[in-house]
Structure 1
Amino acid sequence: MWTGEECQIGFAATQIVPSWTARTPPGSWIEIEVRARTAQGRLTKWYVMGRWSEHGDPRTSVPGQGDEDGDVAVDTFVARRPVVAYQVRVSRHGGGARVTGLGVMASALPRTPVVPSAAGVAEPVELAVPRHSQHEHAGHHTRYDGGGANWCSPASVAMVLGFWGRGPDPGELDWVGDGDPAPVVDHAAAGTYDDSYQGTGNWPFNVAYAGRYGLAGFVTRLRSATELEAFVRAGIPVITSQSFKTHELPGSCYTTNGHILVVTGFTAEGDVVVNDPAAPCDAEVRRVYPRAAFEHVWLRSSGSGGIVYVLHPPETPLPPCTNGNW
């Protein structure tokens, strides 16, 4: 077992999300726990943030942990009152389990309206990220979150893995079956599925899946499309989480309580180029969403509050950070 030092947050936080990458040979797994220090100086209990293995035995969040200090909502510790510090504990079970990356995001979501950011460099940029529609997999392997119609997160991770030239080898895809338009999407769904949540949208589990194929990764919150643009201009596509009604995001043509997509570029006018797996087919996955509308549905505190997965090869540098969120 490894227990990290207590880390001061520097502000009163209300949410904590750890993320990790690890290798877990058959028969091994890891457990990630978090505890926090309240503003009154008292330590909470340890909360289990996930039990993880590549092979899926186990791969689960842990419900029913709520107490006077907080609770775990799938992948997020939600404090009942602000906390000012945290600790992480990692337990390894079985032989050969090895953590290769570990990060923690602590945040306090502002209850203020989203102020649109100004467009950045007036020069278009777009990364050549493969395009996968989750709906091309509707009805596939329904034990994993009901099939492809719900696979926005694994489809997005598969796209980013493909961009970096990473992912499962052909032998790992044999079980998917003939005629599948993109077996890597089905594999990602199987490899991110959370048994307790019964879904494929657990944020750290998606990062950990990408880590199987040599990518570094973490979950964090960004503050604006300007920060998104910095990543894209550094050559790194970013996976974002958002919720909206059809009219709130022109061009989307659907309503969602929670959706994952890949930001791949920006137009000369500053609008956001995405690979949206909610498109009905691969040919329609590329979309351009208005910058202000996209920021609103992505950043607002009633949604994800700016959640992203950042996945990149360890040798690829991140853009400079001035706000401490990566």
Structure 2
Amino acid sequence: MPRRIRYDAWSPDDGRRTRRGGVTMWTSPWCEPGFRFTDLVASWQADTSGGSWIEVGAQARGERGWHALAHWQAGSTATCRSSGRDPQVDTDVWRPPGGADGYRLRVTAHPSASGRTPVLGRIGAVVSTGTVRVTTSSPLRREERVLDVPRLSQMTWAEVGGRGWCSPTSVSMVLAHAGTLPPTTDTGTVDINRVAREVFDPAYEGTGNWSFNTAWAATLADHAFVTRLHDLRDAERFVDAGIPLVASVGYPRGALRGAPTHGTAGHLVVIRGFTADGDVVTNDPGAPTERSVRRTYDRGQFERAWLGGSGGLVYVIHRDDQLLPRGAWSAANA
């Protein structure tokens, strides 16, 4: 089956609100993507100040019950943050058995002990199905375009856990490019140790939860969400719009020539541009030093690692003045 992808998002003015006890629930409209999807990844923007928190759930068309996707609370000392423990949910991906023709999302707003209520800004989800492409995409153009994305290395924090911090390090680089990442140390540098605590998922026991990384980024940037792309031609359109992407890759040992991570089941890097030949210019946080973070990868090798490793998953983080490219990746274009 050809690859099908669709991203949709809603604001609090969409859907409907209900109250039950001391909590408020918001339910999105039903979404029917036009194909039977096999996986869903949600992302959201919410203010959970003062100890408030939200619960995110999903329901398939024709089902009576809901599937718990996540509990979310921002902050490095959050106590109400965990991925869902539903048997159909794998950390950040909901896979309905046999697929589903439609879905809706629900956000339950839990107030803090002092009565402060969380505020939902936006919530969306990407659904997909079908096989990824196996042939290398041709470049959109034959000229170099590389964005000026600051370089950060997770490995400079290896002694305190940094070997597993590729996702928060990549997000930090993109936020720094957008000009929305404040320095987190007295010397004006980025404390990746602190950033890692902002996205840590105790159920997953790591910092690689896709939804949590964009939820944290959304507290600093105007927009942040998870989606999937068909190929590197889609990624080129984002770079042309001035928006770097955080891409999830996975590849066997030796399959991505020049990578500091020789083989991995899952790793996050920043796509910051393309050479005139169409090869991919990245900031790879797995490099041993910040000086060596910039890496250029063969287009075919990178595309296979990205599409085969995660189905083309990316984090999109951007300001209001950075307009998203139009394309088949999204019906709503966030």
Q: Give the 3-state SS of the residue equivalent to 1:162 in structure 2.
A: helix
1:203 maps to which residue?
Answer: 210
Instruction: State the partner residue of 2:180.
Output: 166
Aligned length: 301
Rounded to whole Å, the distance in 1 between the matches of 2:122 and 2:27 is: 14
Counterpart of 2:201 in 1: which secondary structure? coil
The within-5 A match list for 1:1-326 is 1-37=25-61, 42-43=62-63, 45-55=65-75, 56-63=78-85, 65-66=86-87, 71-94=88-111, 95-110=116-131, 114-140=134-160, 147-168=161-182, 170=184, 173=185, 182-253=189-260, 254-300=262-308, 303-324=309-330, 326=333
Deviations 1:150-187 (A, max 9, x none): 100000000011101112455xx57xxx8xx9433222
Q: Percent identity?
A: 39
Alignment check: 8 A CA contact 2:247 2:313 kept: yes
Q: 1-side partners of 2:105 and 2:288: how far apart? A: 41
Which 4+ residue blocks in structure 1 deviate beyond 3 angstroms?
181-184
> Gaps spanning 5+ residues in structure 1: where?
141-146
The Cα of 1:279 is off from its aligned counterpart by 0.5
- SS of 1:122's equivalent in the other structure is coil
TM-score of the two chains, using structure 1 as the length reference = 0.88
Unaligned residue ranges in structure 2 (runs of 5+) = 1-24
Question: Residue 143 of structure 1 corresponds to which residue in structure 2?
Answer: none
Question: Please, which moves more after superposition, 249-258 or 84-93?
Answer: 249-258
Cα distance, 1:209 vs structure 2: 0.7
AA at the equivalent of 1:231: F
Residue 245 of structure 1, CA deviation: 2.0
The alignment's TM-score, normalised by the length of structure 2, stands at 0.86
Shift of the alpha carbon at 1:237?
0.2
- Distance across 2 between alignment mates of 1:57 and 1:182: 27
SS for the counterpart of 1:265 is strand
Query: Hey, what's the Cα distance between the residues in 2 that align with 1:139 and 1:48?
Result: 35
